[in-house]
Amino acid sequence: MRIAIIADAASVHTRRWALGLKQQGHEIAIWSERPWDDFGQDLVHLLPKALRFRRDVPRAVWQIRREVHAFSPDIIHAHYISHYGLLAALARLSPLVMSIWGADIECFPERHGFLSCRMIQWILGQADAITCSSQYLKTLSARYTDKPISVIPFGIDLHRFRPHPPHKGPLRFVINKALEPVYGIDLILTALKDVQGDYVGRILGEGSQRQTLLELAKTYHLDERITWVGKVGLDELPDVLAWADVGLYASRRESFGVAPLEMMALGRAVIAHRLGGLTEVIDENVTGFLVEPHNIVAWQQILQQIVDDPSRIRQMGEQGPRWVASRYNFDENLKRMIELYEQLRLTKISRNRKTQN
């Protein structure tokens, strides 16, 4: 099939879908505001940058409509409905798959008021098929459309994220989220200040809160226990994560949970807030623990327990690979998406034949 993708080409999720489809023999072209230099300049069509009051939209829609029609795709797939989904809807493209990612349905409608809710309803109304990554997102999205919504997760590449043997010795933890307020790293640091015993941790990634978090760790006398790793390349990530026994995720909002799934695929347990899509991706008390949101005392208690007895969390980690493989195998998720494409393609062919007759 020829597949036009309208999405952020700089996003790791967009890239995984595009590469997966290309490896399956499909012909791909992407329309994006941001480049993907390694994918081939002729395959990524750069759209105008977003401007204040979205003055870029008419030009972007005109470009998409003209260039996508020239590409003559079997399927158009727009990712993130409040941005690229809007452009695809305005361009009147068909057959159109729209994928809801998270904040585009969690935050955008409520943040921008009644008109934004109506806009989301209209955008989804233009889709021939709608997908999202979790049942949680499906429930939220159903407020804005009566159309069927397929849950197709952002699966894990099990060829890269393979089980590692458990560690021995003092507890090791990792946090692999951007250093932004939404990911609640400050909550974990606050809980750790009262945890006694032998443990070490690594915090991966960059973000606007880096200096604030560094100062907080210093205030709590955690700076000798924690290493701030910074950005980690995709090729290095599995081994860097597998260094730890457990991943910690105190997100204030989370629509799915790719990071915990990567940890579990490696044979590592996770601890996370009981909210959003996290409650789906974690098998509670089997592959990890769930903590009530913002309950620092509960975080402190559970962290103290696993520092006192790391063997328990290591045993839980051994359950993760089987759990992830049974539900979140990227190859299986990609197969389901291609099956959806094929259904739409055949429907389009059938309609064209009826029109011709």
Instruction: Return the number of other C-beta atoms located less than 10 Å from residue 203's C-beta.
Output: 23
CA 248 – CA 246 distance, rounded (Å): 7
Instruction: Return the number of other C-beta atoms located less than 10 Å from residue 346's C-beta.
Output: 11
CA 189 – CA 222 distance, rounded (Å): 8
For residue 39, pLDDT over 80 is answered with no
Closest CA to 269 of 327, 313, 300: 313
Q: Amino acid identity of 127?
A: A
Q: For Cα atoms 288, 239, 179, give the angle at the middle one, nearest 5 degrees.
A: 65
Entry pTM? 0.92
Q: pLDDT grade, residue 324 (50/70/90)?
A: very high
Q: pLDDT grade, residue 109 (50/70/90)?
A: confident
Mean pLDDT of the 220-238 span = 94
φ/ψ region of 228 (left if φ > 0, alpha if ψ in -120 to 50, else beta) reads: beta
Query: What pLDDT is recorded for position 320?
Result: 97
Cβ contacts of 16 within 8 Å, gap of 6 or more? 154, 157, 330
Mean pLDDT of the 214-234 span = 95
For residue 173, pLDDT over 70 is answered with yes
Q: pLDDT grade, residue 154 (50/70/90)?
A: very high
Over the stretch 141-152, which tens digit does the pLDDT of each residue have?
999 999 999 999
Closest CA to 178 of 226, 210, 220, 153: 210
Q: What is the DSSP letter of 246?
A: E
The mean pLDDT value of the chain amounts to 94
Mean pLDDT of the 76-100 span = 96
Spatial contact of 230 and 207, defined as CB atoms under 8 Å apart: no
Question: What domains can be seen in the chain, in order of their start residue?
Answer: 2-155+329-356 (3.40.50.2000), 171-327 (3.40.50.2000)
Q: Amino acid identity of 320?
A: G
Query: What pLDDT is recorded for position 234?
Result: 87
Write phi, then psi, for 10 (nearest 5 degrees): -85, -10
Query: What pLDDT is recorded for position 221?
Result: 96
Query: What pLDDT is recorded for position 55?
Result: 81
Q: Amino acid identity of 17?
A: W
CA 142 – CA 305 distance, rounded (Å): 40
Mean pLDDT of the 237-260 span = 96
Token digits for 129?
A: 């098929």
Number of residues in the chain: 357
Token digits for 254?
A: 């989370």
